[in-house]
A and B are shown apart, each in its own frame.
Chain A
């Protein structure tokens, strides 16, 4: 079965506007791949990007609508490339979904049961959200690796996908953080904006994690409720069967039917709890890791600049001393080194200013997206709750006359 979830976005950037709809549809297990690749590569996803141009000044894609097959490792490979190109200069690169050994093993073994289906759907949905976030980013969308990912029928197999799953990203960020901690000179934060923002994201992270935990608990209990309701329904049906008063027996059977329908309702609601609310929170917890990363990279950039400056200072002092000695060769060498270092210092300053500028822009974009995402998805989630209540009303309204008919 082919399930498609289209999420439309509209992006306005400097006058150019375009629609991009991307959907990652139901994966098929490609038999031949199972033999060739023994690791976690046997699910392939069909990516359906299509684009309608409103302004022909940008033609990013060669066609309007097309589909390509991608494996999970391809997604990880894409993220790895993007992270290595853009993270260290201040761009918030959306993290890729996690690998999961347990889930994948079940699928590999060919188990066609509910839990492996759920795992596949979870992954499909996560990949779709990942891609959407990536292409919504005006810079990343134009990246040749992204375009190739979306367009090329054949993709060179990603060699090292260890590089950057979400866990890998976290390791990278921690390394940067360690570097920051080892800095001997504390950065003099001339710009309060950065300190404020970092604190803000710190607090947000704590609260989102807490909320995420509660929502995960709700998903779990809602699933339990569904199972227990189904069991009760069966039990009520049995009770109805053994009841020897005809009208009451019938009413109990009807009750059993109502509860059976309600258990399905709870199951559907649990899915909405998860795919809308829980995954939103999970995505943002992971995104905040990337945000933390760019702030740390800025510190690193500053440190590099400072290091060059200190080195330049030392070299200048050394050169001054050489002036009084009779070593023209060494003096010239020193002068050359100083010239090089001056260039480095200038570059360091430029880099630092650039990354600061980029981060400001990125954070502003990130916050706008965050507000939009939360509003859109939470409204969708509330609508799912509305639907559930409407169904409940229908079911109980149908049952009430049956109960009253007992005489």
Chain B
């Protein structure tokens, strides 16, 4: 089952706010293909940067290659002072694919109309998930391209330009386990370090804010998902009600047959609107919250890295004092201390700007999406109202 993308969607949560461009670099996903068990993204680049061979070119990339790029940023010490744009989530069509398969198996047990209807709905669902995953991958690239330092990264350029497979295999079990322990250590560290009060007011405030904010966004994201799922369930019920009313309308011998058919027609239309409401809420609200869940985590990671650097710096100071006291390996201790100091100050400086940019981006994204959410809710409510009133007018006129 192959699906092509007709138009590249623009991601909801990302606004290119603060772009210091010395040269133009524009990245987007111009096409995407969903095959049996993988998605192939066509990454399209337009650039005036001198290090690219051409001004415009495209390559095909898969999800694992995006992850490789993201991880290479995280592991790069040079980037310790930046918020690393969160990696896009893995494309997950399993549920949707399973439903389509079940539908195929059950084709014999339902009428042709029912089958066609359900197939259309499942295909629409598949397409929606597909569009979302493309958007998520695109915003990751856009964020990198917009970052004054990351956009210059060599791996990034290779990712954009090298038109062969990057041969990035997925992590094997051992590597995954290593990652797991690394993360455990990091968060244990994080907890430890988070407890130390920062001298710098700005960072102390950011730490308090981010810790609470991240948890609240997580909760809001989960609750919005549940709310939207209930909405979808209700829309599905209305769909079944419309079908039942249609059957009743065709069977009835009284005045009611026309009545039932009219109401069935109405519910067919309103349930499409209800399904659209759920989809729009998913796009403008749920996705927004999910994205800022990931971004706030990335911001927290930055703070932990800074705290780590601070601890290293303080330890280096203590080591220097000790060395001076014993008058042993003083030069070595001095060099080490200077390195740690430099590292810490570098991180602090860029982290401050990153966190300010994060706030600006966040406010702009929420504004855009909340406005669009309200506008869409209004549009759909008005649409529903018009349908209902129209139908009522006809029904009352006839009785």
Which residues of A are at the interface with B, using a C-beta cutoff of 8 A? 200, 203-204, 207-208, 210-211, 214-215, 217-218, 221-222, 224-225, 228-229, 231-232, 234-236, 238-239, 241-245, 247-248, 251-252, 255, 367, 370-371, 374-375, 378-379, 382-383, 385-386, 389-390, 392-393, 396-397, 399-400, 403-404, 406-407
In the complex, the answer to whether B254 meets A215 with C-beta atoms within 8 Å is no
Contacts of A208 in B (CB 8 A): 248
Any A CB within 8 A of the CB of B283: no
A-chain residues with CB within 8 Å of residue B220 when the two chains form the complex: 232, 235-236, 238-239
Contacts of A243 in B (CB 8 A): 213
Q: Do B366 and A248 touch (CB < 8 A)?
A: yes
Q: Please determine whether B399 and A375 come into contact, CB atoms closer than 8 angstroms.
A: yes
Contact yes or no, B381 A218, CB < 8 A = no
Cβ contacts A to B, 13 pairs, < 8 Å: A211-B245, A218-B234, A224-B233, A225-B233, A231-B226, A241-B216, A242-B209, A244-B359, A251-B367, A382-B263, A386-B392, A389-B382, A396-B378
Docked pose: A220 CA to B378 CA in angstroms: 25
Tell whether, in the assembled complex, residue A221 and residue B374 are in contact, meaning their CB atoms are under 8 Å apart. Answer: no
* A214 and B237 contact, CB distance less than 8 A: yes
What is the chain A residue whose CB lies nearest that of B379?
A396
B101 at the interface (CB under 8 A from A): no
- CB A321 to nearest CB in B, in angstroms, measures 54
Question: B367–A403 contact, CB under 8 A?
Answer: yes
**Residue in contact with A238 in the complex, picked from B216, B247, B385, B388, CB distance below 8 Å:** B216
Digit string of B367-383 for contact with A (CB within 8 Å is 1, else 0)? Answer: 10011011101100110
A218 touches B226 (CB 8 A): no
Q: What is B's interface to A at a CB cutoff of 8 Å?
A: 205, 209, 212-213, 216-217, 219-220, 223-224, 226-227, 229-231, 233-234, 237-238, 240-241, 244-245, 247-248, 251-256, 259, 263, 266, 270, 359, 362-363, 366-367, 370-371, 373-375, 377-378, 381-382, 384-385, 388-389, 391-392, 395-396, 399
CB distance from B367 to the nearest CB of A (A): 4
In the complex the two chains form, is A218's CB within 8 Å of B237's CB? yes
Taking A222-B234, A235-B216, A248-B366 as contacts, is the C-beta distance between A215 and B241 under 8 angstroms? Answer: yes
Q: Given A218-B234, A375-B399, A386-B388, check contact A248 B378 (CB 8 Å).
A: no
Complex CA–CA separation, A404 to B245 (angstroms): 42
The 9 closest A-B pairs by CB, nearest first: A225-B230, A218-B237, A211-B244, A403-B370, A406-B367, A389-B385, A232-B223, A228-B227, A214-B240
With A221-B233, A235-B220: A385-B359 Cβ-Cβ less than 8 Å: no
The residue of chain A having its C-beta at the shortest distance from the C-beta of B222 within the complex is A235
Docked complex Cα distance between A203 and B244 (Å): 12
* B91 CB, min distance to chain A CBs, angstroms: 27
Q: B231 touches which one: A204, A210, A225, A404 (CB < 8 A)? A: A225
- B392 in contact with A400 (CB, 8 Å): no
- Given the interface pairs A225-B230, A244-B209, A386-B385, the reply to whether A370 lies near B241 with Cβ below 8 Å is no
Complex: how many Å from CA A232 to CA B227? Answer: 7
CB <8 Å contact, B399 and A379: yes
Choice from A204, A242, A375 contacting B213 with Cβ under 8 Å: A242
CA distance A406 to B245 in the complex (A): 46
The CA-CA distance from A316 to B59 in the complex, in Å, is 103
Are A375 and B359 in contact, with the CB atoms below 8 A?
Answer: no
What is the distance, in angstroms, from A133's C-beta to the closest C-beta of chain B? Answer: 18
Name the distance in Å between B325's Cβ and chain A's nearest Cβ: 44
Report chain B residues within 8 Å CB of A214: 237, 240-241, 244
Decide: B254 and A228 in contact? CB cutoff 8 A: no
| A217: chain B residues within 8 A (beta carbon) | 237, 240
Q: Are A207 and B247 in contact (CB under 8 A)?
A: yes
Give the distance in Å from the alpha carbon of A161 to the alpha carbon of B27 in the complex.
78
Closest to B230 in A: A225
CB of A371 within 8 A of CB of B234, answer no
Residue in contact with A393 in the complex, picked from B363, B370, B375, B385, CB distance below 8 Å: B385
CB <8 Å contact, B234 and A225: yes
* B contact residues around A225 at 8 Å (CB): 227, 230-231, 233-234
Chain B: CB-nearest residue to A216: B237
Give A215 to B267 CA distance when docked, in angstroms.
Answer: 12
Residues of B within 8 A of A371 (CB): 254-256
Inter-chain CA distance A217–B239, complex, in Å, is 12
